[in-house]
Amino acid sequence: MTNKTGTVLFVDDEEKILKALKRLFRSEPCRTFFASGGPAALDILNAENVSVVITDLSMPGMDGFTLLDRVKAEYPDIIRIVMSGHSDTDTILNAINQGNLYRYIVKPFNEAELKITTKQAVELFNLQQDKRNLMQRLEEHNNLLEERVEKRTNQLLAIEKKAEIGKYASQIVHNMNNPLMAVFGSIGIVELMMKNANPDMDKLQKFLGIMKKNACDLKKIIRSILDHAREGGPSRTEPVNINEIIARALEFFELDSIFKYKIEKNISLTENLPFMKGDSIQIKQIMDNLIKNAIDAMEHSDKKCLGIKTGMENGDIIIKISDTGEGIAEEDLEKIFSPDYTTKPVGKGTGLGLASVKAMINAYSGKIKVKSEKGKGTLFTVQLPV
C-alpha cells in the first residue's frame, strides 16, 4: 500500500480478534500495529508515530481504560477509541463526555462501520496536526511581524524627528542669518580699517569681539540642531543631568519664534538635583516629546504658558510639564499612550511620541501620570528613580 495516511494500533487480548482485524485492514490505506495487551501496546507507542489507538476494555494485566489514561497523559494527540462487548454503558458515556474517548465500537463489530470510524479518526488526527503546524507557523509569523513593527516604529521615530527639524528649517536659517550677517559685516569693517596705516586698535578689538560672540551663537544653534537630531543607539548608562537636558531642549525650541516670543515659560529647575543613571539621548527624547506636545496643544489657546518643574520626591526625580492648551477629554486619557492614537493631521503627528516616552520611562522603572482638563490644560508628571 503506498500513500499510507495514518498509523492505527489495535489492542486486544483475543488472538482471534487480532487476526480478523489484520485481515480486515490489510488493504486499508493506513499502517497498522497489533498488540495483545497494554504493555505491548505501550512499547509500540514508544517506537512508532501512532495516530489512533483502538482498544478492548477487559484485558488481563492492564485494562483498556488504564491503557487509555496512559495514552492520554503521554501522547495527548492520539485519537482514542474503545472496542468492547462490555455493556457498562455508563462508564463509557462518561469517558466520552469527559473528552477521554473519541468513539465506542460495540463487539462483535460491523466491518464497514469499523473501517469508516477508523478512517474518520485518522483524518481527525491529521487535521489536528495540520492545525498545530499552522498555529506554529502563525506564531512564528507573528513574532517576525512584531520584530518588524518594532524596527519600523524606530524608523518612524527617527523620521518624525527629522521632519520636525525640517519644519523648523526656515526658522533655523533665519536665526543663523543674523549672526552670520554680523560676522561678515564686522569682517568688512575690519578689512577697511586695516587699509589705514594706523588702525584704531580699540575699535578693531571691538569688532573682533562682535565676530567672536556671533560665531559662538552660530555654534550654539548648530549644536542644538545636531543635539536634537541625534539618534539613540544602544542604551548607555551614564550620569544624566536632567536640568541640563531640559535647558538644552528649550534651547532647541527657542529656534522657533512662536515658542520664543508667544509662549510664556514658567521654568523652575531645582538646584543640586542628583544625576540619574541612564542614556541622556533617551531622557532628552522624553523631554522633547512632552514639550513638543505641550506646544502643539497650545496652538489655539489664548493663554500660552509652558511650565516645567523638577524636584525630588521620596528619593525619585520628579519632572512636571504643564501647559494651558486644549486638554484631553477624560475618555481619551487612556488612549494617548497607544502608538496609533493621534488627533493631529498627517504630517504633524504620528501618535508614536507618548508610546515611546512610556516605553522609555518603563525601561527605567519610572512612572508617567497625566492630569488634564478639557479646554484648560494638561499636566504630565514623570517620576524617575535616581
Ligand X SMILES: Nc1ncnc2c1ncn2[C@@H]1O[C@H](COP(=O)(O)OP(=O)(O)O)[C@@H](O)[C@H]1O
- Interface residues with ligand X (CB under 6 A) are 289, 293-294, 297, 323, 325-328, 336, 341-344, 349-355, 378
Least Å from the CB of residue 188 to ligand X: 45
- Which candidate, 47, 49, 62, places its Cα nearest to that of 11? 62
325 near Mg ion, rule: CB under 5 A: no
Residue 51 binding result from ligand X, Mg ion, none, given CB thresholds of 5 to 8 Å by partner type = none
353 near Mg ion, rule: CB under 5 A: yes
- Binding to Mg ion (CB under 5 A) within 16-45 occurs at none
Residue 279 binding result from Mg ion, ligand X, none, given CB thresholds of 5 to 8 Å by partner type = none
- Binding to Mg ion (CB under 5 A) within 281-320 occurs at 293
Helix (H, G, I), strand (E, B) or coil at 293: helix
Applying CB under 5 A, the span of 40-48, 103-111, 115-123, 351-359 interacting with Mg ion comes to 351-359
Any residues with CB less than 8 A from the CB of 227 and at least 6 apart, and which?
A: 248, 252, 284
Residue 351 binding result from ligand X, Mg ion, none, given CB thresholds of 5 to 8 Å by partner type = ligand X
Residue number closest to ligand X, CB atom: 353
Applying CB under 5 A, the span of 43-51, 91-99, 219-227, 348-356 interacting with Mg ion comes to 348-356
Please, what is the angle between helix 242-253 and helix 201-229, to 10°? 100
**268-291 b/e with 16+ CB inside 10 Å = b?**
eeeeebeebebbbbbbbbbbbbbb
Residue type, 356: S
Helix (H, G, I), strand (E, B) or coil at 231: coil
Q: Kindly list the distances between the CA atom of residue 117 and the CA atoms of 22, 27, 112, 113, in Å, as whole numbers in the listed order.
A: 16, 16, 9, 6
- Binding to Mg ion (CB under 5 A) within 72-101 occurs at none
Residue 342 binding result from Mg ion, ligand X, none, given CB thresholds of 5 to 8 Å by partner type = ligand X
Q: Which residue has the cell 519664534?
A: 257
Least Å from the CB of residue 230 to ligand X: 19
Residue 326 binding result from Mg ion, ligand X, none, given CB thresholds of 5 to 8 Å by partner type = ligand X
Least Å from the CB of residue 51 to Mg ion: 56
Any residues with CB less than 8 A from the CB of 96 and at least 6 apart, and which?
A: 103, 104
Can you tell me the distance from the alpha carbon of 65 to that of 198, in angstroms, rounded to the nearest whole number?
117
- Angle value at C-alpha 343, between 339 and 345, nearest 5 degrees: 105
Which strand (E) or helix (H) includes residue 315?
none
Residue whose CB is less far from ligand X, 101 or 355:
355
Residue whose CB is less far from ligand X, 114 or 287:
287
Is-cis flag, bond preceding 108, omega within 30? yes
Residue 336 binding result from Mg ion, ligand X, none, given CB thresholds of 5 to 8 Å by partner type = ligand X
Residue whose CB is less far from Mg ion, 343 or 381:
343
Can you tell me the distance from the alpha carbon of 342 to that of 293, in angstroms, rounded to the nearest whole number?
11
243 near Mg ion, rule: CB under 5 A: no
Residue 294 binding result from Mg ion, ligand X, none, given CB thresholds of 5 to 8 Å by partner type = ligand X
Least Å from the CB of residue 381 to ligand X: 12
Residue 378 binding result from Mg ion, ligand X, none, given CB thresholds of 5 to 8 Å by partner type = ligand X
- Angle value at C-alpha 83, between 79 and 89, nearest 5 degrees: 105
Least Å from the CB of residue 7 to Mg ion: 60
Residue whose CB is less far from ligand X, 163 or 187:
163
Can you tell me the distance from the alpha carbon of 335 to that of 333, in angstroms, rounded to the nearest whole number?
5
Residue ranges binding Mg ion (CB under 5 A)? 293, 353
